[in-house]
Amino acid sequence: MTIKELKKNKNFYLITKEVINKSSSQKRKILKFINTVNHLYFMRAEIFATRFLKYLKMQKIDFKYAINAYLKLCRDMMTSQKYFLKNKKYPVDNEKLAYKNVYGNIREMKSYMIGLAISQFLWPTHYAMYSFFIEKIEKENSKIKNYLEVGPGHGLFLIQALEKLNDNTQYEIVDISKTSLQITQSIVDTIINKERKINYKLKNILNIRNSKKFDFITMGEVLEHVTKPKELLIKLKNLVNDNGSIYISTCVDCPSIDHVYHFKSVSEIENMIKQSGFRIIDKLVLPVEEKSMKEIIKNKITINYCAHIRKKIN
Amino acid sequence: MKSSDIIKKSIVEVNKQLKKKEKIVYKKTFEILGPKSKLDSLIIVNLFIAIEEKIKSLTGKEINLLSDDFFEKSYKQRYTMGDLEKDLFKKKKKKK
């Protein structure tokens, strides 16, 4: 695929062009990525961009603000990476501070969510995880009557579930951030026209005390945001049906403005998943730079990780 | 120590970890960020850390090269070795 193909997808090109014009380092990375993608990528990216622009218009969010939100995300990542390499620890080490700085800060959270939504199509690892999720939800489709998502953020994964699953599926959406939940809800309301049974809950998933079980749970990029990720995994084990499954994603050596738990290796993540009572059905291990795994580990370069897991039944 | 010498010493240090095609060259027009730059963010971060640590061991002062100035310049056009040298000079002076 080439820049020619990119230009054919006018809304996605509009977003990409603006990012490229504003940042030469992004230009290099994006064009390199675009050369590796297929038609399906452009189809998905154009659908995303069309909806995203509609959302911005309806919410009266300036297009330039959205592009700057994405560039701010890239800048924050670089600043956090520098802190991490210099101090050998993440910039934030407790949930309260992350809440104060990000989830509880409307301005910051809005910018963060918009930036992350764009990154889903401009960062190869984010797009790979998004595709992995779509593949899994399509495969499990017929079994899913109850769907739970923890920390839906920009709502792109939830939208896929809403489009792929049966009309009668019931949805529960849980988040500790009011702003995040409002963003998710407004995105869903803008994009999904059909009537859906969605229950939004502003709550910590650990405090949910119900006996309801779910056929599919999505928890993307949440484990690294809590100090005790194993507690979360054990909670999910209690919430998923015996024949249900879970999509999770997290990362290794990934400093950010709101990451508090530092996974030091892929095996640390996988051991935690197994010790929490799950088996891994499928997974993706995605370093963010094109280097050998030896170099990635040595230089503490971020590795994105996602997996499709099921309960271990004795 | 002159800013240029601090940068040169830091480059030598960072280059030890890099492959031949990735090596940083001390030249005023060398693009750290820009259309012609071949450096990834990790290399830039490591270069800045090396410089900041040198400043700290020489003067005891902490400076931050990855500041808003850096991002502003790099977004607008390009950020060269010459820009880095100027920034370092200014930051060293400011901290005195």
Question: Are A48 and A129 part of one and the same domain?
Answer: no
The stretch A285-290 carries a mean pLDDT of: 94
- Residue A284 Cα, gap to closest chain B Cα (Å): 23
Going by C-alpha positions, the residue among A96, A101, A56, A93 that lies closest to residue A76 is A101
Residue B1 predicted with pLDDT over 70: yes
Give residue A134's pLDDT.
98
Give residue A252's pLDDT.
98
Going by C-alpha positions, the residue among A222, A219, A162, A212 that lies closest to residue A187 is A162
Q: Please indicate whether, in this complex, the C-beta atoms of A299 and B42 are within 8 angstroms of each other.
A: yes
C-alpha distances out from residue A200 to A147, A168, A214, A264, B69, Å: 12, 17, 15, 33, 41
> ∠B48-B70-B25 over CA atoms, to 5°?
50
Q: How are the residues of chain A apportioned to helix, strand and coil, as percentages rounded to the nearest 5?
A: 55, 20, 25
The whole-angstrom separation of Cα A175 and Cα A188 is: 15
Question: Are A95 and A170 part of one and the same domain?
Answer: no
Residue B95 predicted with pLDDT over 70: no
pLDDT band per the 50, 70, 90 thresholds, residue B96: low
> ∠A226-A110-A31 over CA atoms, to 5°?
95
Tokens 């501070």 sit at which residue? Answer: A97
Q: Are A264 and A307 in contact (CB under 8 A)?
A: no
Question: Are A196 and A223 part of one and the same domain?
Answer: yes
Query: A169: domain range?
Result: 124-311
B52/A contact by beta carbon, under 8 A = yes
Tokens 């693009």 sit at which residue? Answer: B31
Least confident of A12-26, B6-20, B33-47: B33-47
Final residue of a domain: which of A59, A89, A122? A122
The whole-angstrom separation of Cα A263 and Cα A226 is: 11
B-contacting residues in A 83-142 (Cβ below 8 Å): 85-86
The stretch A181-209 carries a mean pLDDT of: 90
Give residue B72's pLDDT.
78
Going by C-alpha positions, the residue among B70, B71, B61 that lies closest to residue B93 is B61
> End-to-end CA distance of chain B, in Å?
14
CATH at residue A290: 3.40.50.150
The whole-angstrom separation of Cα A224 and Cα A239 is: 20
- Per-residue pLDDT tens digits for A197-247: 899 999 999 998 877 899 999 999 999 999 999 999 999 999 999 999 999
Return the domain boundaries, chain B.
3-19+30-95
Give residue A146's pLDDT.
97
Give residue A1's pLDDT.
58
- Per-residue pLDDT tens digits for A138-159: 999 999 999 999 999 999 999 9
- Per-residue pLDDT tens digits for B25-80: 999 999 998 878 888 888 999 999 999 999 999 888 889 999 877 887 776 678 89
In a 3-state reduction of DSSP, which class is residue A299? coil
The whole-angstrom separation of Cα A129 and Cα A111 is: 22
Final residue of a domain: which of A87, A122, A157? A122
In a 3-state reduction of DSSP, which class is residue B80? strand
Strand partners, A282: A308
Kindly give, in sequence order, each residue whose CB lies less than 8 Å from that of residue A46, ignoring residues fewer than 6 positions away. A9, A10, A11, A12
User: What value does the mean pLDDT of chain A take?
Assistant: 94
Among A23, A82, A289, beta carbon nearest to B66: A82
Q: Please indicate whether, in this complex, the C-beta atoms of B45 and A78 are within 8 angstroms of each other.
A: yes
Domain count for chain A, please give it: 2
Residue B14 predicted with pLDDT over 60: yes
Strand partners, A45: none
Question: Are A115 and A157 part of one and the same domain?
Answer: no
Q: How are the residues of chain B apportioned to helix, strand and coil, as percentages rounded to the nearest 5?
A: 60, 5, 35
pLDDT band per the 50, 70, 90 thresholds, residue A297: very high
In a 3-state reduction of DSSP, which class is residue A59? coil
The stretch A31-45 carries a mean pLDDT of: 94
The stretch A51-69 carries a mean pLDDT of: 96
Give residue B39's pLDDT.
87
Per-residue tokens: A202: 């502003």
- Per-residue pLDDT tens digits for A87-137: 999 999 888 888 888 888 888 889 999 999 999 999 999 999 999 999 999
Residue A173 predicted with pLDDT over 90: yes
Task: Please list every residue in chain A whose beta carbon sits closer than 8 Å to the beta carbon of residue B75.
Answer: 22-23, 71
Per-residue tokens: A121: 């199509």
Per-residue tokens: B62: 């902490």
Final residue of a domain: which of A122, A141, A171? A122
Q: Please indicate whether, in this complex, the C-beta atoms of B77 and A24 are within 8 angstroms of each other.
A: yes
Which string of DSSP letters, residue by residue, matches A222-250?
Answer: -GGGSS-HHHHHHHHHHHEEEEEEEEEEE
Best to test chain A binding among B43, B65, B75, B79 (most A CBs inside 10 Å) = B75
The whole-angstrom separation of Cα A42 and Cα A45 is: 5
pLDDT band per the 50, 70, 90 thresholds, residue A274: very high
Interface confidence, given as ipTM, is 0.88
Question: Are A36 and A170 part of one and the same domain?
Answer: no
Between B95 and A189, the higher pLDDT residue: A189
Q: Please indicate whether, in this complex, the C-beta atoms of B45 and A289 are within 8 angstroms of each other.
A: no
Question: Are A147 and A289 part of one and the same domain?
Answer: yes
